[in-house]
Structure 1
Amino acid sequence: MCGIWAVFGSDENVSVQCNASHMITHRGPDAFRIENIHHFQNCCLGFHRLFILDDLRGMQPMRLYTYPHTYLIYNGEIYNHKALAKEFDMMLSTEVDGESIIHLYQTHGPVAMAEQLDGEFAFCILDTANRKVILGRDTFGIKPLFRFCTKEGFLAVCSEAKGLFGLSHSQNDAELQIESLPPGHVEVYDLDIEGHASLSQRVCFNKAGQIPKYQLALPTEAYTNNVKENVAMLIERAVEKRLMAERRVGCLLSGGLDSSLVTALVVKLSKKLGLTYPIQTFSIGMEGSPDLKAAKKVANFLGTEHHEILMTPEEGLQAIEDTIRHLESYDVTTVRASVGMFLLSKYIHDNTDTVVILSGEGADEVAQGYIYFHQAPSAQAAHEESVRLMEDLHLYDVLRADKATAAWGLEIRVPFLDHQFTSYYLSLDPEIRQPKQGIEKHLIRSSFDGSGLLPNEILWRPKEAFSDGVSSVEKSWFEIIQDDCNEKISKKELDSAPSVYPHNPPRTREALYFRKLFEKHYPGKGYWIPYFWMPSWSETNDPSARTLKHYKQ
């Protein structure tokens, strides 16, 4: 996890504009570098580094002596970089995974290069020889990337939208169309002699929910005739590749299936890989939280160095504004679920040396884990809903996971969004991917049944949404927020909200409170969220799982 920032074709003082890059210092606390490109007018590249691999040679912008006209800044990890080096006979000069991006760009071009990458990434390439800028983002948008390009040709790029405010003098920030690069896309910009940019190509190299074009599938002989064996094998391999790090690795552990399974595999594989430190696990919740109870049971079973953080209602309420500022979102579900992760990440940063953390995000979208999937009218409808969720992940759960952890200089990795696993899983008959016997993610659970990785009571524990799991049984976190908002937002203010915010008009005092905090930091940017996340096929006015009729107490 790092932070990247760049401007091209600026008519203003570039050195002054570079101050904006410090808005994302939290993403890379280990080092910072800003570089004006010599003999290339009005261009500047900035990089905030979180050291994960090759401490000595991993600083960016990266340039290779073999390709001196190509500059690279990127955020993320390329898990197949060693395999790519062998397959394409690369002469590597560092241990940095991103070096393969430069080699592939030079030999295969921007789109074919992106199609070969197995990982979580967002990159910006400056090719001074051909006067081009190339932007790219991974299939699921796990790593964020924002940009805008004015009609005058001023292009600005950043890992977070907040780093782009105050840059353009042709428009004020409220009018400026700051947008995220769509996941699975590559954009190519041409630069004129003065460095002004114009979009010349946008290509979708891979769409969420589709089998990737590139050859990432395992050899046929690696698969068995047993679907459950294949599922278990692919999930384990997804976890193993995400242990690639020279910094300490830990796990977020809620006690639910997804995080517990990831943690169990990390513990198993850490012994295989010879990691010399105990795996740390981290849980957060209020007094009486079902997550805390389940997570402690998992930690004791696995023998991890467990950290349990108690969150008071007051601490949670006080953290809402900072959480929204870092999230750059006002979606009700996202904000609710992010507060606990935001505070937990702060604890990890302040009290431990763990930097890389694995988490269970993505499993609910890929494997139909949300409770409302029990109400799907058909297997095909459930499959289509799963694909829709995966396409929009970058706006909700993946956004939450990245920004709530990046706020405190941590890198999160999400094995359930591995290309090999998602490609195989989505190719299976929709009928066997539906909830079975009243249990969501039945296929994944049964794939590990009898493995001994987890106690059965955890492996088959019913779904608990994260924002609900941190709550006490007596009073849910969302009810605490709503009670607070009832005092802060009047009925008159709520009644006038649709005229003040015609896009995604707030329907509740909680939604209006979140929107006001968002607009305080990002005025006029409500369009960043296309709609409020809500469960499908369910009669509810609130996204909390605890409001659903089929919620399991």
Structure 2
Amino acid sequence: MCGILAALLCGGSPEANRRSVLRATKLQRHRGPDASAVYQTAKGNNLFAFERLNIIDPSDSGKQPFILERPQGRLVWALNSEIYNHEAIKADQLAGVPIVKNSKSDSAIIGHMYEKMGGGPELWNALDGIFACVLLDEATGDFTVARDPMGICSLYWGRGQDGSYWFSSEMKGLQHACVSFGYFPPGHVFSSRTGQMERFYKPVWAEPDYHPTNALDLTAIREGFITSVVKRLMSDAPLAVLLSGGLDSSLVAAVAVRHLKEAKNTYSTNKRLHTFSIGIEGAPDLLAARSVAQHLGTHHHEFHFTVQEGLDALYDLIFHIESYEQVRAAVPMYLLARRIKALGIKVVLSGEGADEVFGGYLYFHKAPSPEEFHKETVRKTMRLHQWDVLRANKAPFAFGVESRVPFLDRAFLDTCMTVDSAEKMISMADRPDGKHPRMEKYILRKAFDLPHDPYLPDHVLYRQKEQFSDGVGYDWVNGLKAFADKEVTAEMWESRQSRFPEHTPTNKEYYLLRSMFEEHFPSKSALDTVPKGLSIACSTPEAISWDPSWAGSHEISGRAMRNVHESAEGFAHNTARAGPPSAAAQLPSNDAVEATMMAAATAVSSAEAVLPDEASKAPAEEKVIKRTASGRRIGSGIQHWAPRMSIDINGDGDESARHSFDEDSGEEEEGKPVVETDAYSRLGTDVSHFAPRYSSDMEATAGNGSLAHLAPRLEPNAARRAAARRPAVAAASIRGSQPQVEATDRGQDGRAAAYKDPFGTDVSHWDASSRLSGDWATAQDAEGIDTSLLSAVAKLRLAPGDEADPEAPEAPFEHFSPKVSKEHPVSLSVDGSR
């Protein structure tokens, strides 16, 4: 995948044409940070620019644009693609044909296929994958342009003042060069020879008069989806799954894990799958994702963001996604993509498309008939290139991360969209299996409901649909609405009609986002690329007619579905009146599901984590979960920040009813802080990976309301500050009964110490002049964070040629116990010195 740009039939001088192309392609260089290239024909009037993201064949033989030398003239093409059947095509249609540059890139086959088939529908229908292609035949001067059936790869086109044709992966590459532009329609091919745009993707299920009647085949759905996921594991670069803990992303991860373990896909560089989740602390998705990651055994990474961080990202985010729609969901994906790329991941799989194909949005509960149900799924699916697919493509690509969507596989769509739509209808009173209600996406759930060979735990397989923008934390949507209500004054709102005469915003949130959009993209051409119309819980405008109470609504959150969403009560709808949002943020009320997820999530904070034996002593039945007004889950009556935490023995919230135990003897001690863990502090902070040791000395700092001296990811700002201002060189020394040893962490230069705990927590910003004083360490890190309760037991990863200390603990920071054990030797090394 990459960023492509082509300027054809330009009327300027060769030098001016090249300058224009270089200026335009620079605006989308984030799509291809690995390499850039420009090709210009001999006359200087046709140019290609390519921004490369190395995924398949990262060698120079995969560099584009591709040029096929022929006696009659060159064939030149640039392709943004993942062609999953390219090896089969080479073995079949191109058997014996020497591939250009002997390249193993999937994109290299296109010119040879053009030579054999021409540039019409036959060529593009032969490709199984996603693509946006511009091809120039220098022998004739003709050019051909095509985009994949569902528009997964973004592509825009426009006309210059001189009559030139421009094509670009992103709109921002065209707006300064073209007098008019728009998106290139998915599933179409344009030929300059005929001047015609031709539709090559014509699924029968999308025809206006089609009514699906195929019998339900759960095996076909399951096997079709497995095939779709496996083919998308094709990569010469590290890949991962975006895991929200909902049904769709969890199924993607479950299938990927099985096939990577069995090494059935020979392309992928992964053997153990990485999964990523993001949310505001205490968000529903974070807890669910942890539970799924533990079940699947993935290498799970969890990141938090705050409402303010999301608001700070709005302006840049809109520049990248080129829309003021999908912003709520795009912001957390944008923030997460940056963290993903920092870890070296270039490809992610995600769950977009399932809700459109199976009718998973909560408003489908109100579908009046199977016929209307099917029509709405067709509308939603065929318009995805302007909605979720646009977000899934452009938000990660802001940082050079490619997103793949298995639910929108062409063959899988044909299987699912031709099933009798009566099978997809929702009826919560109906329990066909005697256990589970016929909820949204019921047939997809049943396809993977295999008690003898479960892909997912039951509580995940039958979790209610939670839209991504809600699942990352209800405070995010509420905070965005409150921010818009503050920023858009009464005077601004009253003049909205004159400010935005076309597609006037219906609420203050859209006024704010539209204003940011027009700062980046002020032209009417840009505005016309954004879809219009009212929506309720992500419906199309046409579905508004399903319920008279929806008239005039424009609230895309699933919580707008009263009597359907488990947390709809008290949620403020966005309407043209644009009233202030609700301050209350509710969590789902399914306590049985929540308790199961909590038990799984508290066991480990990542798939690799293994807590010390003591941490498992707290009986699960003693756990009591309470809620604050903001909806955060909390541990019951925690009175201090000891890593092992309190249980409300009586279950009634009485702060005085406590038990405590001596850590070593297991006997009760009078007046000591309570122990045992249920893995959540009273602020809703996840502390499930804390070491079980504690000290009564912690009472001295019990009331300061801060967790800053514990692992940095638990303090809302420490890890973020560390990432932004990590010192290049941080000196560290530990003194005490051991000989003085000094070490230096040199940041990212390859000689850095491995400052991570067993659960993957980054502690590399801890500098620390640490001094042992008696049995306790006193220290502050480079940012002034109190680290005096951290264990001084530490071992830095040995430099090449050094010898390990056989008596040193095996983990870099074995745990974050506040109890310092002098009997453990300290071993530090840098550059081979001890």
Q: Which residue of 1 aligns with 2:482?
A: 483
After TM superposition, the structure 1 = structure 2 runs for residues 251-290 of structure 1, keeping only pairs within 5 Å, are 251-273=241-263, 277-290=271-284
Please give the per-residue CA displacement for 1:103-130, whole angstroms capped at 9, x wherever unaligned: 2212112121111111011010011112
Cα deviation for residue 533 of structure 1 reads 6.2
**CA 1:183/1:276 → structure 2, altered by over 3 Å: closer, same or farther?**
closer
Whole-angstrom CA distance in 2 between matches of 1:295 and 1:208? 35
Q: Which residue of 2 aligns with 1:215?
A: none
Q: Does the aligned pair in 2 maintain the 1:494–1:506 contact within 8 Å?
A: no
1:418 aligns with 2:422: no
After TM superposition, the structure 1 = structure 2 runs for residues 128-207 of structure 1, keeping only pairs within 5 Å, are 128-150=138-160, 152-168=162-178, 176-190=179-193, 200-207=195-202
Q: Does the aligned pair in 1 maintain the 2:188–2:199 contact within 8 Å?
A: yes
**CA 1:348/1:11 → structure 2, altered by over 3 Å: closer, same or farther?**
same
- Normalised by the length of structure 2, the TM-score is 0.61
Q: Which residue of 2 aligns with 1:216?
A: none
Q: Which residue of 2 aligns with 1:105?
A: 114
Whole-angstrom CA distance in 2 between matches of 1:228 and 1:16? 56
Indicate which of 83, 86, 104 corresponds to 1:81.
86
Q: Which residue of 2 aligns with 1:338?
A: 330
For the residue of structure 1 that corresponds to 2:417, the secondary structure is helix
Cα deviation for residue 471 of structure 1 reads 1.0
Indicate which of 3, 22, 26 corresponds to 2:26.
22
Q: Which residue of 2 aligns with 1:32?
A: 36
Cα deviation for residue 362 of structure 1 reads 0.7
Whole-angstrom CA distance in 2 between matches of 1:344 and 1:444? 27
Indicate which of 333, 356, 372 corresponds to 1:365.
356
Cα deviation for residue 142 of structure 1 reads 0.4
Cα deviation for residue 278 of structure 1 reads 2.0
Indicate which of 123, 127, 130 corresponds to 1:117.
127
**CA 1:209/1:322 → structure 2, altered by over 3 Å: closer, same or farther?**
farther
> When you count helix as a share of all residues, which structure comes out higher?
1
**CA 1:466/1:225 → structure 2, altered by over 3 Å: closer, same or farther?**
closer
For the residue of structure 2 that corresponds to 1:440, the secondary structure is coil
Cα deviation for residue 55 of structure 1 reads 1.8
Cα deviation for residue 208 of structure 1 reads 6.2
Q: Which residue of 1 aligns with 2:366?
A: 375
1:243 aligns with 2:256: no
Whole-angstrom CA distance in 2 between matches of 1:303 and 1:416? 23
Indicate which of 298, 308, 319 corresponds to 2:313.
319
Larger RCO: 1 or 2 (CA < 8 Å, sep 6+): 1
Which deviates more from structure 2 when the two are superposed, residues 285-294 or residues 485-494?
A: 485-494
Q: Which residue of 2 aligns with 1:547?
A: 560
- RMSD between aligned alpha carbons? 1.9
Structure 1 gaps of 5+ residues are: 169-175, 191-198, 213-223
Q: Which residue of 2 aligns with 1:526?
A: 527
**CA 1:276/1:389 → structure 2, altered by over 3 Å: closer, same or farther?**
closer
Cα deviation for residue 388 of structure 1 reads 0.5
- Percent identity between matched residues is 37
Q: Which residue of 1 aligns with 2:289?
A: 295
Cα deviation for residue 304 of structure 1 reads 0.8
1:304 aligns with 2:302: no
Indicate which of 448, 451, 454 corresponds to 1:452.
454
Q: Does the aligned pair in 1 maintain the 2:280–2:473 contact within 8 Å?
A: yes
Cα deviation for residue 202 of structure 1 reads 0.7
- Normalised by the length of structure 1, the TM-score is 0.91
Indicate which of 470, 473, 491 corresponds to 2:472.
470
**CA 1:208/1:161 → structure 2, altered by over 3 Å: closer, same or farther?**
farther
Please give the per-residue CA displacement for 1:525-553, whole angstroms capped at 9, x wherever unaligned: 21111314622335243111112112123
Cα deviation for residue 54 of structure 1 reads 1.3
For the residue of structure 2 that corresponds to 1:483, the secondary structure is helix
Whole-angstrom CA distance in 1 between matches of 2:188 and 2:490? 43
Q: Does the aligned pair in 2 maintain the 1:366–1:422 contact within 8 Å?
A: yes
Whole-angstrom CA distance in 2 between matches of 1:208 and 1:357? 27
Cα deviation for residue 465 of structure 1 reads 0.4
Which one has a bigger Cα radius of gyration? 2
Whole-angstrom CA distance in 1 between matches of 2:502 and 2:204? 28
Whole-angstrom CA distance in 1 between matches of 2:227 and 2:383? 25
For the residue of structure 1 that corresponds to 2:127, the secondary structure is coil
Whole-angstrom CA distance in 2 between matches of 1:426 and 1:115? 19
Q: Does the aligned pair in 1 maintain the 2:160–2:177 contact within 8 Å?
A: no
1:388 aligns with 2:389: no
Cα deviation for residue 438 of structure 1 reads 4.6
* Aligned partner letter, 2:558: A
Cα deviation for residue 414 of structure 1 reads 0.4
* Aligned partner letter, 1:470: V
Q: Does the aligned pair in 1 maintain the 2:216–2:419 contact within 8 Å?
A: no
Q: Does the aligned pair in 2 maintain the 1:8–1:154 contact within 8 Å?
A: yes
Cα deviation for residue 21 of structure 1 reads 0.8
* Aligned partner letter, 1:237: T
* Aligned partner letter, 2:118: G
* Aligned partner letter, 1:439: M
* Aligned partner letter, 2:330: S
Q: Does the aligned pair in 1 maintain the 2:159–2:166 contact within 8 Å?
A: yes
Indicate which of 50, 53, 56 corresponds to 1:50.
53
Cα deviation for residue 43 of structure 1 reads 1.3
Please give the per-residue CA displacement for 1:135-182, whole angstroms capped at 9, x wherever unaligned: 1101110001111124742111110010113224xxxxxxx3210100
Whole-angstrom CA distance in 1 between matches of 2:141 and 2:51? 25
Cα deviation for residue 276 of structure 1 reads 5.1
Cα deviation for residue 211 of structure 1 reads 7.7
* Aligned partner letter, 1:149: R
Indicate which of 457, 460, 463 corresponds to 1:461.
463
Aligned length: 520
Whole-angstrom CA distance in 1 between matches of 2:399 and 2:172? 16
Please give the per-residue CA displacement for 1:430-462, whole angstroms capped at 9, x wherever unaligned: 111223535110001000001311101001111
* Aligned partner letter, 1:50: L
Q: Does the aligned pair in 2 maintain the 1:211–1:423 contact within 8 Å?
A: no
Q: Does the aligned pair in 2 maintain the 1:146–1:159 contact within 8 Å?
A: yes
**CA 1:225/1:82 → structure 2, altered by over 3 Å: closer, same or farther?**
farther
Q: Does the aligned pair in 2 maintain the 1:289–1:470 contact within 8 Å?
A: yes
Whole-angstrom CA distance in 1 between matches of 2:285 and 2:438? 21
**CA 1:467/1:533 → structure 2, altered by over 3 Å: closer, same or farther?**
farther
* Aligned partner letter, 1:544: S
Which deviates more from structure 2 when the two are superposed, residues 128-137 or residues 440-449?
A: 128-137
Cα deviation for residue 429 of structure 1 reads 0.9
Please give the per-residue CA displacement for 1:309-343, whole angstroms capped at 9, x wherever unaligned: 11111101101111111010012xx0111000000
Whole-angstrom CA distance in 2 between matches of 1:419 and 1:542? 31
Q: Which residue of 2 aligns with 1:220?
A: none
Cα deviation for residue 60 of structure 1 reads 0.4
Please give the per-residue CA displacement for 1:388-438, whole angstroms capped at 9, x wherever unaligned: 111110001000000001001011100000011001111111111223535
**CA 1:322/1:6 → structure 2, altered by over 3 Å: closer, same or farther?**
same
Whole-angstrom CA distance in 1 between matches of 2:158 and 2:281? 45
For the residue of structure 2 that corresponds to 1:29, the secondary structure is coil
For the residue of structure 2 that corresponds to 1:71, the secondary structure is strand
**CA 1:379/1:226 → structure 2, altered by over 3 Å: closer, same or farther?**
closer
Cα deviation for residue 209 of structure 1 reads 6.8
